């Protein structure tokens, strides 16, 4: 059973799927998008929107921690990728794996969590 689980996680990662374990058990965070690099892979599930696999460079802000940079490979709705990155998505909700802070999952649909950490960037601390 572990073999199939590993294969499924590998395929999900290749297609830019969200890290399910991080989404389920991850700590709430904010991610400031610094750079988005669209890849060649697109995915459309049923009649949903077309999503493109992207590599994101983000600054992650967690409660009581200094912000840090992380790279995230994940799908994003393609409508967000035409033209400049939407201003209201400069900072988006994220989840961070509790044992591996480099495992970050972006959540485009969730509201921004409130943060206790004091940061220099007001966009990361504003509730």
pLDDT band at 16 (very low <50, low <70, confident <90, very high): low
**Domains of the chain, residue spans:** 2-117
For residue 1, CA distances in Å to 5, 19, 38 come to 6, 19, 33
For residue 21, CA distances in Å to 9, 17, 83, 87, 124 come to 10, 12, 32, 29, 24
| Tens-digit pLDDT profile for residues 43-101 | 777 777 788 899 999 999 999 889 999 999 998 888 777 655 555 568 999 999 999 99
Its pTM stands at 0.72
Average pLDDT over residues 23-43: 88
pLDDT band at 11 (very low <50, low <70, confident <90, very high): very low
């Amino acid at each position: 059973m572990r073999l199939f689980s590993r294969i499924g996680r590998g395929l999900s990662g290749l297609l830019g799927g969200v890290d399910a374990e991080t989404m389920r058990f991850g700590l709430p965070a904010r991610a400031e998008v610094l750079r988005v690099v669209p890849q060649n892979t697109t995915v459309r599930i049923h009649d949903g929107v077309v999503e493109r696999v992207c590599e994101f460079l983000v600054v992650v802000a967690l409660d009581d921690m200094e912000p840090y940079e992380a790279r995230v490979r994940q799908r994003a709705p393609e409508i967000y990728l035409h033209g400049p990155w939407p201003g209201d998505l400069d900072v988006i909700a994220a989840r961070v794996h509790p044992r591996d802070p480099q495992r970050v999952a972006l959540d485009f649909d969730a509201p921004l969590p409130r943060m206790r950490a004091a940061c220099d960037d007001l966009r990361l601390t504003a509730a």
